[in-house]
Structure 1
Amino acid sequence: MSTQTVTIDRLGSGGDGIAGGPDGPVYVPFTLPGETVAIARVKSHGTVISTSVASPERIAPACPHFGPDGRNGTCGGCSLQHASDALYHAFKRGLVVDALKSKGLTPAVAPLVIARPAERRRVVFTARQTEKALLLGFNQAGSHHIVDIGECPISRPGIVARLEAIRAIAAALATDSQPFRVTVLETLSGLDLAFEGVRKPGDRQRRAVTECVLKLKGIARVTHDGEILIEPQKPLLDFDGVAVSPPPGGFVQATKEAEDAMAALVLGHLSKTKRVADLFSGSGTFALRIARNARVHAVEGDEKALRALDHAARHAQGLKPVTVEKRDLFRRPLMASELKVFDAVVFDPPRAGAEDQCRELARSGVKTIAAVSCNPVTLARDLSILTAGGYRIAGVTPIDQFLWSSHVEAVALLQK
């Protein structure tokens, strides 16, 4: 380890400040461009000791758990609470612009659709039982240390208000001191808690969880590795008037506000289409909305998510026909010959993107595509494949739903 003084040049893609040097970049968390800081350096990582020049874009963080002086350690849930809105929003939009430029793409990129505090309805906590109490919070950045939280400004008030209830249920389920995860989803009927990584509960733990939940209010369902332990109320989400019960721990957009913004862009682009394929459809975030105006074929590899979509479509009023197909689109993308019956395609893949599927789309005659992505790098790769196949990018909109983090969503609209 060495001590040196550096000036921060820019923010890296992970949100750390980056200082240039003769032997390569140094990454310094919790710093901003233009700041001069003394750091303790280990290889390419620096820890701030003191700041001699602070950025005018630096603001006080919203959460006492944030930063090197955070309560109980540095919570790794956020990385940019110290940046002004202007700097932070430019950083998020820049992640999308830069990724596109790296593939030679320069489409119109709209201003960032911003996220606000208290919007996150889906949060993944880490928990661990200790001799004194159950810890519930987020891992410290680059560490297995759990920062036990008492508040969380990004999360919905309905989640924050029930942190003690979540702790009590987690404590009833824990059998040892190993860390485990709990995905908390706020639904219309209460919190949906999905536990993973904890040892399979025995009869004693099952009874304890049941007794605990029955004493509490606002808990819709508790599951362990997909198995329902107790379900006082079926968890329900509203996809534009269609009620959907998502599978335990299944993928749901992290904020309703971002989901609505994405859906508005997709639906506006598909307003004149008659038959649409929704690829990587999940539980129907887009498919069920699109079905108000067009026939939809939803394709998804997760059987439980597809079952939730199918059930919702069958019990909804006023929808055009919705068909479903279980299919691993990474191994078996829809071929160009299969795509010819559709006049539009929507795809919203995991972070790995949809490379092979885009190669088939590029060979197809599908006129309209809406690409939704949580990873600007793989989105840029996929769009470069589509543009090489004759598609024009009408526009790209970056969307924030992971406030004060380095993650950003984007919706790209294309025409053949």
Structure 2
Amino acid sequence: MTDTIVRIAARGDGVTETGRHIPFTALGDRVHADGTIEPGPHRAEPPCRHFPECGGCQLQHVDDTAYAGFLVDRIASALMGQGVAVPEILPPHISPTVSRRRASFRAESRGRQVRLGFNAEKSSRIVDMHECFILRPELFALVEPLRRLLGELLGPRGSGGVRMTLADQGPDILLENVPVAGLQATERVTDFANAHRIARLATDDGDGPQTRWEPEPVTITLGGAPVPLPQGAFLQATDQGEATLVEAVREAVGPARILADLFAGLGTFALSLQGRILAVEGGRDAALALKSAANRAQRTIFVDHRDLFRRPLDEQELSRFEAVVIDPPRAGAREQAEMLARSSVSRIASVSCNPSTFARDAKILIEGGYGLDWIKPVGQFRWSTHVELAARFSRE
């Protein structure tokens, strides 16, 4: 008996016509009775030597057509699970290779050896990184120098973490639980940062980040405005993915000129829109950074530092706006969606990194009288099972 892979499940396994889940299979692969896999038309040759061991990618073995289909299916399945009719789903954006501008790695030293990379799939074991087809070259170029630096700082048996972000001024690095004690270690960190043109280097031993090198204030440009970049601030994973989401949001809000941007973060959307904008953000550092950038750029953006989970904008506050942009964390925004459903806002641009919570909140809006017009899938985390999207809701 031979089974054919007909879809890719949420965690990346291929699913056969009979419902069997087969790891590392692609759409159209044929699974024979003896367990052998006959490659189908959508199987691709994985470019990275670390696949499938490395947990950074789950789907390098499928081509872009099948990967795009996976993004669409994940969203459609989530909506159907909530009893929501699937609207027009636009062609997905898939960010190109070597485009990721932020990443988090684990590191451990064993004697003179330092392992640095992503964790193995479903494991705490570190896959020692020697190539990467998702990370920006400017960041990957630091892997070997960081391995040498960590070998000196972690000692013969230690572990820690590395967070890297590509800012306007260059790489921004945070070393987590990596001891930098004494003058010699401090000078070694400073020499490393200077030699590799690091924009900022900070350490965090559990009490919060401590900046050790920052020749000039670090910024990230959003909507043409340089924004101060707080430690740990959220940033879209790729420039291309960010641009796709911004364009979708612009299309969703249309001609509206009195807008609210909820869960605004550093201003990815607020700084890219025209009109009078209320930007609401619960993170104090992000709110201050956005306010500073908006003032310097002379944008008409009013920043409100407010926890939208505990104190969402109510229907009266929302009804002042012609359009609302909402980009919540993975948990979604149930309370805020309930208030939006009672409001008279004409258009809602919804951005999400979790199809399941998006579908839950979409159901609330639809039951409140909104129509779900279209969805734009976005695959910023290329070859992973992570799915993002932008969508438009509207009411007459």
TM-score, normalised with respect to structure 2:
0.91
Change (3 A) 1:316 1:408: same
Please tell me whether the aligned partners of residues 127 and 136 of structure 1 are also in contact (alpha carbons under 8 angstroms).
yes
Choose which of 329, 350, 361 in structure 2 pairs with 1:350. 329
SS at 1:148's partner residue? coil
Please tell me whether the aligned partners of residues 36 and 53 of structure 1 are also in contact (alpha carbons under 8 angstroms).
yes
Please tell me whether the aligned partners of residues 89 and 377 of structure 2 are also in contact (alpha carbons under 8 angstroms).
yes
Query: Is residue 2:227 matched to residue 1:244?
Result: yes
Q: What is the number of equivalent residue pairs in this alignment?
A: 389
What are the superposed Cα offsets for residues 151-204 of structure 1, whole Å, 9 maximum, x if unpaired? 1111112112222233344445436744432221112211011233x1564335
Choose which of 52, 65, 76 in structure 2 pairs with 1:97. 76
SS at 2:386's partner residue? coil
Choose which of 42, 63, 76 in structure 1 pairs with 2:48. 63
Choose which of 23, 26, 29 in structure 2 pairs with 1:29. 23
Choose which of 243, 248, 260 in structure 2 pairs with 1:260. 243
Please tell me whether the aligned partners of residues 299 and 325 of structure 1 are also in contact (alpha carbons under 8 angstroms).
yes
Choose which of 272, 278, 282 in structure 2 pairs with 1:297. 278
Query: Is residue 2:7 matched to residue 1:10?
Result: yes
Please tell me whether the aligned partners of residues 169 and 213 of structure 1 are also in contact (alpha carbons under 8 angstroms).
no
Change (3 A) 1:50 1:224: farther
1:264 CA drift (Å): 1.1
Please tell me whether the aligned partners of residues 191 and 235 of structure 1 are also in contact (alpha carbons under 8 angstroms).
no
Distance 1:20 1:156 in 2: 38
Distance 1:199 1:181 in 2: 7
Please tell me whether the aligned partners of residues 359 and 386 of structure 1 are also in contact (alpha carbons under 8 angstroms).
yes
Distance 2:360 2:275 in 1: 29
Distance 1:336 1:171 in 2: 56
Structure 1: segments with no counterpart, 5+ residues: 40-48, 68-73
Distance 1:167 1:329 in 2: 41
Distance 1:272 1:176 in 2: 61
Letter in 1 for 2:332: G
Please tell me whether the aligned partners of residues 60 and 383 of structure 2 are also in contact (alpha carbons under 8 angstroms).
yes
Change (3 A) 1:170 1:26: farther
Please tell me whether the aligned partners of residues 153 and 180 of structure 2 are also in contact (alpha carbons under 8 angstroms).
yes
Please tell me whether the aligned partners of residues 111 and 156 of structure 2 are also in contact (alpha carbons under 8 angstroms).
no
Q: Paired residue for 1:46?
A: none
Choose which of 368, 376, 380 in structure 1 pairs with 2:359. 380
1:129 CA drift (Å): 2.0
Choose which of 305, 314, 333 in structure 2 pairs with 1:326. 305
Q: Paired residue for 1:194?
A: 174
Q: Paired residue for 1:112?
A: 92
Q: Paired residue for 1:162?
A: 142
Identical columns (%) = 39
SS at 1:219's partner residue? coil
Distance 1:50 1:145 in 2: 28
SS at 2:134's partner residue? coil
Distance 2:373 2:302 in 1: 29
Change (3 A) 1:171 1:114: same
SS at 1:296's partner residue? strand
Letter in 2 for 1:165: P
Q: Paired residue for 1:309?
A: 290
TM-score, normalised with respect to structure 1:
0.87
Distance 1:300 1:36 in 2: 49
Please tell me whether the aligned partners of residues 105 and 384 of structure 1 are also in contact (alpha carbons under 8 angstroms).
no
Letter in 1 for 2:146: I
Choose which of 111, 116, 121 in structure 2 pairs with 1:136. 116
Distance 1:28 1:396 in 2: 29
What are the superposed Cα offsets for residues 289-312 of structure 1, whole Å, 9 maximum, x if unpaired? 12xx21111111111111111111
Root-mean-square deviation over aligned CA pairs: 2.3
After TM superposition, the structure 1 = structure 2 runs for residues 208-227 of structure 1, keeping only pairs within 5 Å, are 208-214=188-194, 216-225=195-204, 226-227=209-210
Q: Paired residue for 1:276?
A: 259
Moved over 4 A (4+): 5-9, 36-39
Please tell me whether the aligned partners of residues 110 and 158 of structure 2 are also in contact (alpha carbons under 8 angstroms).
no
SS at 2:278's partner residue? strand
1:231 CA drift (Å): 1.1
Distance 1:172 1:273 in 2: 56
